[in-house]
């Protein structure tokens, strides 16, 4: 598992752990503003399927997984702008 690392005052902090399915979901969400309505529906369905697969490995709610991905995509995008 990889993590996004932010360096502050010469100390490394891992903001959150990311596995491969998380990376794919974040990439989909990062491109969401550029999608058409049809592409958005397809992406939403794909994200739900990915969340169900991730839920099998853990005991989290699918909605919580989707919210977590949205948060990670937002923070990653905002950090890249700064």
pTM recorded for the entire structure: 0.70
Is residue 21 classed exposed, middle or buried when 0-12, 13-18 and 19+ CB atoms within 10 A define those classes? middle
Rg (CA), the chain: 14
pLDDT at 81: 81
Each residue's pLDDT tens digit, 1-32 = 344 444 444 444 444 556 889 999 999 999 99
Q: How much is the pLDDT for 19?
A: 83
Domain locations in the chain as residue ranges? 20-81
Task: Give the tens place of pLDDT for each residue, 16-73.
Answer: 556 889 999 999 999 998 999 999 999 999 999 999 988 887 777 999 999 999 999 9
């Amino acid at each position: 598992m990889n993590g996004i690392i932010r360096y502050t005052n010469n100390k490394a902090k891992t903001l959150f752990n990311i596995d491969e399915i998380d990376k794919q979901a974040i990439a989909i969400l990062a491109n969401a503003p550029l999608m058409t309505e049809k592409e958005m529906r397809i992406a939403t369905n794909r994200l739900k399927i990915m969340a169900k697969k991730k839920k099998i490995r853990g005991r989290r709610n699918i909605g919580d997984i989707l919210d977590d991905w949205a948060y990670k995509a937002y923070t990653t995008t905002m950090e890249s702008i700064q």
